[in-house]
Amino acid sequence: MVLLKRLGLIGVSAGALCAQSTSFGSGLYAVMEKANCRACHTVDGVASATRLHMPETDATPAMVEAFGKSLVVLVDRKNPEASLLLRKPTARVAHAGGEKIKPGSEDEAVLKAWIGQLARLSGSELDAAMHFREQEDKGSGAASQDAELRRLTHSQYNHTVRDLLGDQTAPSNQFPPEDFINGFRNQSRGQSLSPLLVEAYSSVAERLARSAFQGGDTHGLVPCKPSAACRARFVREFGLKAFRRPLDAGEQKRYEGLMARETDFLKGAQLVVEAMLQSPNFLFRLDATTDPKLKPWATANRLSYSLWDTMPDAELFAAASRGDLSTRAGVEKATRRMLADPRAKESLNDYVSQWLRFDRLLTASKDRRKFPLYTRETANAMTEEARTFFSDLVWNNGNFMTLFTADYGYVSPELAGIYGVKAPAKDFDKVPFPAGSERAGLLGQGLFLALTAKPEESSPTARGLFVREQFLCQKVPDPPPGVNTNLPPVTEAKPQTNRDRMTEHATNPSCATCHKLIDPIGFGLEKFDAVGARRDQVSLQFRTTKGGGRGAPPKTINLDINTVGTVAGLPDSQFSSPAELGAVLAKSPLCQECVVKQYFRYTAGRVETPADRPVILQAVEDFRKSGYKFQEMIVSLTLQREFSGRNTKQEGAIHVASNH
């Protein structure tokens, strides 16, 4: 009775109270779903740093109940009324999501009843609840299976036909464009085969096969003097490279038969090449298999397409054949050799261009009247600076978290005017940022500042969203349907800064929940305009015909800027410049983990699942121990993915028997 009084539950309906005495799933869980706690409180939500992570939508009833009991860590068992589990969602204390449960409502009664039940937990039940998150982080001990087949991306297709046939024409550049999903173009969910793509594969295969033998065996594809025995050898050796595994007896026989249809040896070889290039065994990756004989070849495929974005080379094939890739030592040796190859640098360049969304900047436009220094060459220079910066940290084994804190950039003449520095003697030489510029790392470079801006002005929302999604790996929910996202226009009669105009986001309940989590990040970066040039005030220009006709100069109004920003959810995160925000991110465990997650998503072709948690956490730990060396993170993540008990169910599906 004392506990009920302290929770204010005397007089609450018996139905609400009894429901909570037996089931979290049918009680408070439903309330939390109705309040849309899931929008932020997930492992990749903007509230991921908190101790409340909603279970997966397909969680079993037992998992939901276990989660419900784990909320005891948010309960003050001596004074339940002071529990964060009560005071946060009811906004009795500061809650970035605002009021989600109305005080005095039936929903609050359900919440209080569950808090009362949690306050009575004891013994082993309490111990299990208190350590729920710890056990959740340990996961199942096995990496999540990559159930969906992965076809070659357009980039991988180009690189593979280059290494297989010596073709340098980049034929996939003419294929239908690939979509960004989960921040990358190589995700398995976006790899369906459209009729248009199938037709393109067929057409290109015919052309590539014809070109391969135009003027004879100019690319050295035939390993022996033409004969019946050579026919079998050609099919076997070319098939090994094209399918990235040995052919089985049935495949060998079929392709030999196809080749024998032509009396001319090279014309027969051309038929085989054309058929193999259209086979699912060429177009799809052999990432895994249930056949023990093929497992080393699957490992070779995973390594080559993750690290090189292309097919295995002769040495990797040889390692697979010897069985070297069945041990940690063998895989680590192969990984380090591959990282020293120029193809690894090319692959990482593609990764960074997708992670940092170079495409958005290269297709963006800026108001040339306001920003005359910004041209197509400027945009290209911004991407090249970021690529050079990233490459220097990775390949010279620097502390990768310097990505956010470096007091220098890599400047070209196009960037020098924007940064207010002297152009170096050589393009993209390292140049210190001027004292007092408040630039640092990627956040102070033109790439980030320009791609997260509008054509005419900066965008605090876009900048905050980019930081959340790309550097903290937090998914911000989409705006509710029908919400007007347009800000009030700036007028000469009412000139306003972006911060003033965006007060609507903070006061409109439909907008406030998410914008409170992203806009304050962008406010701290407002000293930099839409092309990344520093400013101390916002200059608003208004064109008028009064007192001077059409040619009259615009009227300019300068407004002071409030650049105090914060990252809700990160401790001690107040800042007012890219340099200060960079320092916050560099020391944040969330940001450090996000660096690992982003690379995992790129190489795995999917978003991580709870089963991947142990793999990622171990890679993060190794990353930190190495002094944040990106190459060491790659080695660790590769080993963790290879030797963490892969689930091989359905993995044999990639070995497709072809009738070609």
Write down the pLDDT at residue 507. 67
pLDDT of 361-395, one tens digit each? 999 999 999 999 999 999 999 999 999 999 999 99
Helical (H) or strand (E) element with 431? strand 429-432
Write down the pLDDT at residue 20. 43
The number of helix segments (H) and strand segments (E) in the chain equals: 30, 4
Write down the pLDDT at residue 490. 81
Mean pLDDT of 30-53: 83
Write down the pLDDT at residue 287. 84
Mean pLDDT of 196-214: 97
> Taking 80 as the threshold, does the pLDDT of residue 648 lie above it?
no
User: Which residue from 270, 114, 144 is spatially nearest to 206, judged by alpha carbons?
Assistant: 270
Structure tokens at 531: 């092309």
pLDDT of 246-276, one tens digit each? 999 999 999 999 999 999 999 999 999 999 9
**pLDDT level of residue 647 (50, 70, 90 thresholds):** very low
Which string of b and e fits 622-644 if b means at least 16 CB within 10 Å?
Answer: bbeebebbbbbbbbbbbbbbbeb
Write down the pLDDT at residue 546. 56
> pLDDT: is 168 or 551 the higher one?
168
Report DSSP state, residue 402: G
Report DSSP state, residue 149: -
The whole-angstrom separation of Cα 600 and Cα 598 is 5
pLDDT of 565-616, one tens digit each? 999 989 999 999 999 999 999 999 999 999 999 999 999 999 998 889 999 9
- DSSP characters for 78-134? S-GGG-HHHHTTTTSS--TT---S-TTSHHHHHHHHHHHHHHT--HHHHHHHHTHHH
Share of the chain above pLDDT 90, in %: 64
The whole-angstrom separation of Cα 634 and Cα 627 is 13
The whole-angstrom separation of Cα 160 and Cα 242 is 9
User: Which residue from 563, 561, 521 is spatially nearest to 540, judged by alpha carbons?
Assistant: 561
Share of the chain above pLDDT 70, in %: 88
> Taking 50 as the threshold, does the pLDDT of residue 652 lie above it?
no
Helical (H) or strand (E) element with 136? helix 132-138
Write down the pLDDT at residue 14. 45
For the chain, what percentages of helix, strand and coil (3-state, to nearest 5) are there? 55, 5, 40
> pLDDT: is 156 or 112 the higher one?
156
> Taking 60 as the threshold, does the pLDDT of residue 117 lie above it?
yes
> Taking 90 as the threshold, does the pLDDT of residue 656 lie above it?
no
Mean pLDDT of 240-250: 97
> Taking 50 as the threshold, does the pLDDT of residue 137 lie above it?
yes
**Among 37-51, 306-320, 355-369, 637-651, which stretch is predicted with the lowest mean pLDDT?**
637-651
Question: How do beta strands 429-432 and 408-411 pair?
Answer: antiparallel
Structure tokens at 500: 């003033």
pLDDT of 301-340, one tens digit each? 999 999 999 999 999 999 999 999 999 999 999 999 999 9
> Residues with Cβ < 8 Å from 554, sequence gap 6 or more?
541, 542, 543, 544
Q: How far is CA 561 from CA 31, 117, 147, in A?
A: 41, 50, 51
Phi then psi for 263, rounded to 5 degrees?
-70, -30
> pLDDT: is 289 or 180 the higher one?
180
Mean pLDDT of 295-303: 96
Q: How far is CA 491 from CA 81, 242, 507, 648, in A?
A: 49, 63, 21, 62
Q: Are 270 and 257 in contact (CB under 8 A)?
A: no
The whole-angstrom separation of Cα 643 and Cα 331 is 10
**pLDDT level of residue 629 (50, 70, 90 thresholds):** very high
User: Which residue from 62, 58, 84, 56 is spatially nearest to 71, judged by alpha carbons?
Assistant: 84
The whole-angstrom separation of Cα 495 and Cα 538 is 10
The whole-angstrom separation of Cα 55 and Cα 64 is 7
Q: Are 151 and 196 in contact (CB under 8 A)?
A: no
Write down the pLDDT at residue 410. 97
Nearest-5° Cα angle at 415, 413 to 419: 120
- End-to-end CA distance of the chain: give it in Å, rounded: 78
Q: Which residues pair with residue 151 across a beta bridge?
A: 284
Q: Are 646 and 143 in contact (CB under 8 A)?
A: yes
Find tokens 């009738």 and name the residue.
Answer: 659
**pLDDT level of residue 16 (50, 70, 90 thresholds):** very low
Q: Which residues pair with residue 431 across a beta bridge?
A: 409
**pLDDT level of residue 657 (50, 70, 90 thresholds):** very low
Most confident of 47-51, 316-320, 558-562: 316-320
pLDDT of 63-86, one tens digit each? 888 898 899 889 988 898 998 899
**Backbone angle region of 375, left / alpha / beta, with phi > 0 → left and psi within -120 to 50 → alpha:** beta
> Taking 90 as the threshold, does the pLDDT of residue 187 lie above it?
yes
> Residues with Cβ < 8 Å from 210, sequence gap 6 or more?
270, 274
The whole-angstrom separation of Cα 77 and Cα 75 is 6
User: Which residue from 378, 448, 372, 389 is spatially nearest to 413, judged by alpha carbons?
Assistant: 378
Mean confidence (pLDDT) of the chain = 88
Helical (H) or strand (E) element with 305? helix 295-307
**pLDDT level of residue 17 (50, 70, 90 thresholds):** very low
> Residues with Cβ < 8 Å from 196, sequence gap 6 or more?
176
**pLDDT level of residue 650 (50, 70, 90 thresholds):** very low
**Among 229-238, 434-443, 473-482, 616-625, which stretch is predicted with the lowest mean pLDDT?**
473-482
User: Which residue from 659, 660, 652, 632 is spatially nearest to 284, judged by alpha carbons?
Assistant: 652
**pLDDT level of residue 646 (50, 70, 90 thresholds):** very low
